[in-house]
Every structure is written in C-alpha cells, then in structure tokens.
Structure 1
Amino acid sequence: MLLGYGNSSVRIKLQDGWEVLRPNELPPAHDGEIERALDSPIGAGLEDLSGRSAAVIVSDITRPSPSHRILPPLVRRLKGVGVKDLRVVFALGTHRRMTEDEVRHLLRGCVRLPHFQHDASRCVHLGETSKGTPVEIFDLVESSDLIIGTGNIEYHYYAGYSGGAKALLPGVSSERSIHHNHMMMREPRARSGFLDSPVRQDMEEAAGIAGLDLILNVVLNSRKEIVSAVAGDYIKAHRAGASVVDRMYLREVKPAEIVITCAGGRPKDINLYQAVKALENAKGAAAPGGTIILLAECAEGLGNRVFERWARECSTPEECVERFAREYEFGGHKAAYIAELALRNNLVLVSSIPRDVAEMCFFTPVRTIEEALELAWSAHGRDARTVLIPHGDLTLTRTG
C-alpha cells in the first residue's frame, strides 16, 4: 500500500491481522457541483444579497481547498448580482506569507483577479463576542459590501471541523482575536468532530458580528476530488457539509497497541505544525501505552517559531503540559498537545526532520516506516493488534 509523503509516497507492506481503516469515500461529484450548491443554497443565497463590492476569502497554501475551481462560478454569480469591485483575500491567519509561485498555483486561471494576502496589522475593531474575543477583521474585507467565505470542510483538532466561519476567524483576523479565540482549545469539548466546540461557537459568533454573508465550501475525498459542495448560511450550510465528512470519515475502532497514521502528503505534511492533526484523529485508535507512528515528510520543518521555542524550552512532556495549563501562547499549544499525547503513548515520527529536532518535540525519530515498525514490534510484539490509517489527515477514530 502507498502512503502519501510530501509530493510522493512511501510503500508499506501490509501484515496479516492488521486492520486498515479505509474511509467510506464518495465518488467525485459532477462538474457542475459548485453551481448546483449556489443554485440550492442552505439559507440565504447570493440572489438574496446586494452590494457593489465583495471580498472572497480563500484558503492559503497549507489547505487543499481548490480555489481555482471554486472561484469561476462564484465570481460569475457575484457579477450577476451587481458586484463591480471584487477582491480575493487569502486567509493566512497567523501563517507565513505565500510566495508568488504559491499564489499562482492556488489561483491558476483566476490569477488575474485582484488578490491580496491577509495583513494582521491592518485590522478594524468591530466589537467583542460573548466570550470576550475581540472581533478585528482585515480592513480590505471589512470595507466590502459583501463577505464570502470559501474553503473545504474536514475534521479540525480543536474547532471540530474546518470551513464555515473559520475563513473569517482566524483567516482574516488580528493576532489578538486569534489568540483569544484559540485559548478556548484548552476546554474539554474543543475536539475534532465536535460541532459544539467552544472555539467554533466563538468563531461563528464573530462571523455574525463581522457580517459574513455567505459561505461556499466543498468536501474533498482523499484524492482531493470534490464530492460535495454547500453554499448559503455560514452555520446551516456548514453543518450540512460536516455531515458529509462524518459519513465518509468517522470510524469506530477497537483500541490497538500499534497505530500507524499518515498525515496525507503535501500540503498536509508540509511541516509538523500541520501534520500533528493526523495524531488528533488517530489517538482514539491507540490503547494507553501503545505506539503511534506518524508518517509526515515535514519538508519545512516545524512550521511555527513559537511551537519551536516551546519545544526547546520544555525539557520534558510534563513540563510542557504544566506550562500550558498556566500560560497560553498560540503556537505553544501545539507543543503542549504533542507533550500530552506523549505522556499517554509512545510517539514515533517518520520524517525528514533532523533527529534532535524531532526528539525535542517528544517523538522518537526514524527515517523509514520499516524502522518505525521494528521499534513498535520490539515494544509490543509482532502479534500486537495494529491499526493502519492511510488517510490520517481525514479519518477520525472513536472507540466503539
């Protein structure tokens, strides 16, 4: 079996008795799926809106959302309802700015549309949520008559699911807004696959204050094909898309001593900061004391300076978890998350990250999947119950 690894793949030899958690994927939708969603909105549609200017928020290079396919029909419809001034805004959140090559890759035939990258230093204060999160939005978005959020819906390890209001917060919000919102990830229900995650609820309240008019989201399969699209209200349409994700990727499983999970290849394993999402999805399949093997190239290393600093400053997992309980810092949450899991399970990382850096992040580093398996077998035996999750970036495990 081939597992995604960067821009290529790694072959793993299946052993007798392994349980392979394959998703129940839907086939690709017809070419007109995005148009169908726009024609059948869930809640208010484009025809219910009016304005001369529109900001269309699209995902950055760390997400697989096919903006080059979403934009053409959406732009045509916006022009049809009288929009004259249209701007495409990349939702960077706190991610790095993209290169021009990355922008061209994402937009492709739409590259001539006016496009901008989010600038967190140019945000306008609009109010606060009931949880005290300041709603501060990029001025190019805030000044538009219409705000449209696009993206893909999949599991997210503290917002429950991606997509929907997440395009606005954190996508085009200030660092202060993002920081306050993300502090809620420490709450018990801030978990993958939970729609009532306090983080998501806060995001959706912020979207109401900022005036997110409509979303156009897609659900992708593991081949990054569009299987469904939803448009309309940023809560109702999002929930419809989330139900499609559950149908394909929510799997009940009996806990195993060895779990092998794949982050999904590029862009999901572009760095460890992104690839850790596969651990969140896989942890439900691992018995306490078991071994979780994460396959993720991480060509760009750790991917976040604060994450790296926390990993360097905390010498043990216990120290990192204790620090996060008393001191929230965005980026540090990722180190604390790995540390907490490292206290429960043995974590083995197959990547291109230098050995000392992987160890600093509480992983046992190896270079090949074969080496990882030998470590797991030495700890648990070759007859240990083993679960393989080929699409760990997408598949959410829960004990049944």
Structure 2
Amino acid sequence: MEREEIWLPYGKDKIRIEIPLQNLLGVYYPKTIVAEVDENYILQQALENPIGSPRLREIVRCGQKVAIVTSDLTRPTPSDKMLPFVISELEAAGIPDEDVFIVFALGIHRPMSEEEMKKAISPQIYQRFRAINHDLNDVVTLGVTQRGTVVEIFRPLVEADVRICLGNIEFHYFAGFSGGAKAILPGCASRETIYANHRWLVSPEASAMRIKGNPVREDLEEGVAMLGVDFILNVIVDSQHRIVAAFAGDVIEAHRAGCQVVMERGAIDISQRGDIVIASPGGYPKDINLLQSNKALQSAKDFVRDKGIIILVAECAEGFGNAVLEQWMKEIPTAEETIQKIREKFVQGGHIAAAIAMIEQRASIYCVSSFEDSTVRQIRWRPFSTVQAAVDHAFEVLGKDAKVIVLPEATSIFAKVSG
C-alpha cells in the first residue's frame, strides 16, 4: 500500500507521519504569495509606500515621545526584523533614541522576562531603547464604547505623542483577524476592558474572516480610536517564520489590505470534509500553550465531518496558558455544561473552554502534546504519545476507508466547502 510521508510542526521540531494514499483527501497549506522571499525588500517597500497615510518619517516630529507597541512571545510577530526599519524612519525624522520606547502587548498573558525581551527585539535594540511590559493595572480611562466597554489603556501609551503598532495578520476565530488595532485592545488594555470586549465573542457574528458586523472587532476598533494609533506595520509570516507580505500605514486601511491577502492566501476549497483531520497550529510559538493551540481546533472544525475525529498535534510546553481555561476544562464534566455555563455568565478564559466544547459536540479530539496523559483524559480528550498511534487508532474507530485531511499550518487556513 502506497503511503504519503508528511511532516508536522511540533514546538520547535517536526514530526513525521505516514498516511495511505487511498485514504488521503489532501494536505493543505496556505498559498504561496511570493516565489522568493526577500524580507528586507518587502519591509522597505511597505514603509516607503504606506496605505492611507504619509510615511512615518513625515508623521513624527522632534520633541515627541514615540511608543512602539509589539507582540509578546505568544505571537509569531518577527519584531527583531521589523523594528530596524521603523527605527530607520524615526532616525530620518531626527527622533533621538531616548524619546522612543517599546511596549510588549501582553493582554492578559504573563510578563516577558528580560531575556525574552532581548530575544524578541534583538539584544542590540534592547540596549538602545527602553522596553517595558504592558501593565494591566496602570491604565487611564478614555471613554465608553457604544456597546458599553469602558476603555482603559496602558498609561505610558496614553501619555505618548505618537503610537506605532507592529503585528502579524492571520485568522482570528472571534475577532475576524489578528493585527491592526488589536495591539492596543486587548494588547495594552486593562483586564476589565478586555473582558468587556471579549464578552461579545458569544455572538454568531464574532467569527473568523468577518470584520463588518463583528461586534468584537467593531468594539475594539471604536475603543482604540479614542486613543489613536498613528501608524502600523503588520506582516504575514509563513511556516518558516519568514515575512512574505507587509502592510504599513493607517491602522484601518493598511490592516484591511493585509486581511484581504490573508483571505486569498488561506482559503482552501474542499468538496468533502474529512473523517479524520490532523491539525498542527504550526509549531512554536503558535503551540506554546492550549490557549493558542485552540486556534488550530477552530480551523480544523470546518474540515471535519460530524462525528469525525480531530487529532491536535501541539506541544503546549507552557500548559494551558490560562488558569480559568484549565479550571473549566478539568472540572466541568461535559461539553454541554461548559456551554451552558458561559451562556449564563461570560468568564474570560472560560470562553475558550466553551469554544472547544462546541467542537467536542461535533467531533472527538485526540491529542499529541507534552501534557500528562492523565491531564488529557481529565479534559475529555484521548492522549497519544505519537501522531502515528493516534492516526492508527482513528482508523480502528472509523474504519479502514476513513478519509484523512492534514493541516500542518491550521491557524493560517480556512475551509470553503462546496457541494
């Protein structure tokens, strides 16, 4: 029997599996945007040709305090590659280093250590500029959105004269897409503001690929407009963490241009859903914890048939990534009770457990990770030490003719089902 050899990202490594060709419906990757990647050229072109905005060097003025917001270690934003181009623009405008500081947008994630900061932005940039973690508790109230979200933003950002946001754009299962204004809210907001915004994710309109009418995206962009973002630089990265596209300029217009490319790159036309779907978030940092790896499940759910099996291949070296998520998944005995609980009262972290529970109602979840087997069983999933063992067992359950779909970069694609 002929078999297809497939490699799946797992943490900072890769895992090999073999699938019989007669069972394989497809191995789906995002489309290639550029044949040859020249990251420096891509970044330079974006900054020289901003969308909906003058060049950055034309926006900033001497004497202004400039804040650069970038992602924490849970995001694949290549800050070390992007920052030199932004800094070059600031230098061209005559801005001295002491008037520039870098903020790591944590949201509700843990603070980054000094060593992690150095690695994220490079030791050279870390030595030149002040770099700080966002602080949930040091905030300024700016107003209230139409949906009732009290907008509280990190004080140093409010006090800055110019705000520049870096980020990466990919699908986001309830904010439509990552990137753009999300660097500020939830990235640099108070816990209460983040919770108030995220409570809208239970809306059917809060979904991947949707911006217009998406209450989460509209609410956060309304909140960020109270602060103001002067310039963004957002990128799309491939599985090797190379920059394959960049978008600079206005926080809305440049972001939307990037979202369009993400859509074109990630849309996968399928005529048949798989009985078995094997999904990797794409390796580190996308599988750093279950909070992030959940995004692969959200993509996989649209590729799998009802009562099928999803095999999640995610290292989760830092565990669940959220204490409430862990508590809900471990302590609530059924998917139905989890969903009912979030409907009764929105709880940050619990919303992820509920999103996963909705998938459990449609498909079984097998898991290949660094979690203890007992932990995986406690959250109602089935643990396996190898992907191949999980695949073989799935065939035993669903039959030797079961059809398989493999998603090595699940967070970067979405299914368009025809027929």
> What is the aligned length?
400
Q: Which of 77, 95, 99 matches 2:89? A: 77
Residues 349 and 358 in structure 1, CA contact (< 8 A), matched pair in contact too: yes
* Offset from partner CA, 1:94-142 (integer Å, 9 cap, x none): 0001122211110113112210000010010001111111111101111
Letter in structure 2 aligned against 1:26: I
Deviations 1:185-226 (A, max 9, x none): 101121122223221111111121111111110111111111
C-alpha separation between the residues in 2 aligned to 1:338 and 1:323? 13
Q: How does 1:1-400 map to 2 (within 5 A)?
A: 1-17=6-22, 18=24, 19-27=26-34, 28-45=37-54, 46-51=56-61, 52-84=64-96, 85-108=99-122, 109-112=124-127, 113-196=129-212, 197-253=214-270, 254-400=272-418
- Asked if 2 retains the 8 angstrom alpha-carbon contact of 1:263 and 1:275, the reply is yes
Report which stretch shifted further, 48-57 or 215-224: 48-57
Contact 1:187 1:198 in 2 (8 A): yes
Preserved CA contact (<8 Å) 2:52 2:249: yes
**Which sits farther off after the overlay, 197-206 or 74-83?**
74-83
Contact 1:339–1:362 (CA under 8 A) maintained in structure 2: no
CA contact (8 A) 2:105 2:184 kept: yes
Which residue identity lines up with residue 28 of structure 2 in the other structure? L
**Change over 3 Å in CA distance of 1:92–1:30 after alignment to 2:** closer
Distance in structure 2 (CA, Å) of the matches to 1:47 and 1:70: 15
Offset from partner CA, 1:366-399 (integer Å, 9 cap, x none)? 1111221122112211211211111112122232
Tell me the amino acid that sits aligned with residue 76 of structure 2: P
Q: Percent identity?
A: 39
Q: For residues 46-72 of structure 1, what are the alpha-carbon distances to aligned partners after superposition, in whole Å with 9 as ceiling and x for unaligned? A: 245234111100000001111011111
Mapped partners of 1:328, 1:10: distance in 2: 37
- When structure 1 is superposed on structure 2, of 332-341 and 47-56 the one drifting more is 47-56
> In structure 1, what residue type is equivalent to 2:105?
A
TM-score (norm 2): 0.93
Read off the aligned partner of 2:383 and give its amino acid letter.
Answer: P
Tell me if the contact between 2:237 and 2:245 (Cα under 8 Å) persists in the aligned partners.
Answer: yes
Partner amino acid for 1:21? Y
1:332 positional shift: 0.7
8 Å CA contact retained: 1:135, 1:210: no
2:112 counterpart SS class: coil
User: CA offsets, 1:213-253, max 9 Å, x none?
Assistant: 11110111111111111111111100111111122211122
- Check whether the contact 1:25–1:249 (CA below 8 A) recurs between aligned residues: no
Amino acid at match of 1:252: D
Q: Distance in 2 between matches of 1:4 and 1:40?
A: 34
SS in 2 for 1:309: helix
For 1:238, the aligned partner's letter is H
Find the aligned partners of 1:245 and 1:235 in 2 and give their Cα distance. 15
Residues 220 and 226 in structure 1, CA contact (< 8 A), matched pair in contact too: yes
Change (3 A) 1:245 1:10: same
Structure 2 residues not aligned, in runs of 5+: 1-5
What amino acid maps onto 2:40 in structure 1? D
Q: Give the partner amino acid of 1:283.
A: K
Cα displacement (A) at 1:9: 1.1
